[in-house]
Amino acid sequence: MSDEPRKIEEHLQSKSTWLRLFNMVILAICFGIAETVAIAVVLFQFFTVLFTGERNTNVVRLGSSLSQYLYQIARYMTYNSEERPFPFGRWPEPEVVVVDSGVDVDAEAR
């Protein structure tokens, strides 16, 4: 029992713990911004399909990398990953996406 208060004090004084909190605050802000951009991407792609009948390949790629980014932030903030997402790390590459005149975007998912 006598070691427990000492361990708590060590954790409270740990620079890595406070640095992670700082990273999490920055990433929470980034998550909110990315979430707003994702909603805009969804709406833009919907109206593109509505008016042209085809998906915009660049928007599909953006949506793919954006969804991976949101996933990376969630994993880091819930302590499921130690890898820091953008802006502390690299922006995720979009998954390979096949866009054709059909309805399905990701043929590999089947």
Angle at 86 between CA 82 and CA 92, to 5 degrees: 90
DSSP classification of residue 103: S
92: tokens are: 């995720």
26: tokens are: 């920055």
Cα of first residue to Cα of last residue in the chain, in angstroms, is 55
pTM of structure: 0.77
pLDDT tens digit sequence for 32-71: 999 999 999 999 999 999 999 999 999 999 999 999 999 9
Residues 97/61, Cβ–Cβ less than 8 Å = yes
pLDDT tens digit sequence for 90-104: 999 888 666 564 544
Residues 22/51, Cβ–Cβ less than 8 Å = no
